[in-house]
């Protein structure tokens, strides 16, 4: 059994730990409040118990350090062990986490730990399926900012556990010129998109510059500004293929809009570099875990 790095809070980067700590405090306060009245009534104060968190159906594991931290925060005497680590695929019936310690604390942490595991493992599992569908095409599956408020770093961590990559963490770390920016852009010229890219590059230092386009004409305009990435928004497969031919490697291409498990392979086959999928975080079904006392 692993008791070390796989379960350590420090397995998460510092920024993710800060977000997770805030969520853990809120979740414990929300669920436990002033105490578990049922356990106080029925479970002796000194009782010790063992339990195991089991995957009811196959999934990709994500959130194991958080689940362990839930129990440690409720009672430091709880011992947590696992044979697995985040990113691994669990079969149905596999034990994700073994816990042992004061019974009241185990009962108090049960639902909180399961909630984190189910949400994050659900995202990792869906991401892994998208990655599997694009197979050997070399196309990267990206997430979006369509995340649960307050959960962004954790949900994007789960995407990485599933084999996807993160797009922007927020508005601050990458320039993405979208349609509404273009409507408000004050510049007027024969090449408005190219000028918008140039203006952004002057004002935003060394950040990556990406621009959204809807047509081939907009694509050619944008290429004049030499962006790092071009976002091809809600395009048909035929139009995506034409855009790939027009660009000829002068910028990296991201396809977005209407992406599903049914069409992601066909989109990847058009020759784009990446496909962004909002569903990874806004529509992932929860993984199925349960906690059984032994």
Catalytic option among 18, 40, 57, 111: 111
Catalytic option among 212, 218, 221, 254: 212
| 224 counts as catalytic | no
Task: Give backbone dihedrals phi and psi of 186, rounded to 5 degrees, phi first.
Answer: -80, -15
| 212 counts as catalytic | yes
The sign one gets for the Cα dihedral 216, 220, 221, 225 is: positive
| 146 counts as catalytic | yes
Catalytic option among 86, 210, 233, 273: 233
Nearest to 282 by CA among 177, 136, 158, 140: 158
| 203 counts as catalytic | no
Nearest to 145 by CA among 178, 184, 182: 178
Separation in Å, CA 186 to CA 66, 102, 196, 200, 225: 46, 64, 9, 12, 16
| 216 counts as catalytic | no
Catalytic option among 76, 77, 178, 226: 178
**Strand ranges (E), the chain:** 48-55, 59-60, 79-81, 89-90, 95-102, 140-142, 175-177, 209-213, 229-233, 252-256, 274-276, 289-293
The set of catalytic residues is 111, 146, 178, 212, 233
């Amino acid at each position: 059994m692993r008791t070390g790095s796989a379960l350590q809070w420090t397995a998460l980067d510092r920024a993710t730990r800060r977000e997770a700590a805030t969520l853990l405090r809120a979740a414990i306060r929300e669920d436990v409040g002033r105490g578990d009245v049922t356990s106080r009534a029925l479970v002796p104060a000194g009782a010790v118990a063992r339990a195991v968190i089991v995957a009811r159906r196959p999934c990709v594991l994500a959130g194991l350090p958080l689940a362990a931290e839930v129990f440690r925060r409720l009672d430091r005497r709880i011992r947590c062990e696992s044979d697995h680590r985040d990113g691994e695929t669990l079969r149905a019936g596999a034990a994700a986490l073994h816990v042992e310690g004061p019974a009241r604390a185990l009962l108090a942490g049960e639902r909180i730990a399961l909630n984190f595991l189910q949400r994050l493992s659900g995202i990792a599992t869906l991401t892994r399926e998208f990655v599997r569908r694009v197979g050997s095409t070399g196309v990267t599956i990206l997430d979006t900012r369509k995340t649960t408020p307050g959960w962004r770093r954790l949900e994007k961590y789960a995407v990485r556990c599933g084999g996807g990559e993160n797009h922007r963490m927020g508005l601050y770390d990458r320039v993405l010129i979208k349609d509404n920016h273009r409507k408000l852009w004050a510049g007027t010229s024969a090449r408005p998109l190219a000028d918008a890219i140039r203006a952004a590059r002057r004002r935003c230092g060394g950040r990556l510059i990406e621009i959204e386009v809807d047509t081939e004409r907009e694509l050619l305009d944008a290429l004049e500004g030499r962006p790092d990435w071009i976002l091809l928004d809600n395009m048909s497969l035929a139009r995506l293929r034409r855009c790939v031919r027009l660009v000829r490697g002068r910028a990296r291409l991201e396809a977005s809009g209407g992406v599903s498990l049914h069409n992601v392979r066909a989109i990847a086959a058009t020759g784009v570099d990446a496909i962004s999928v909002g569903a990874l975080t806004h529509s992932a079904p929860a993984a199925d875990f349960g906690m059984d006392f032994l």
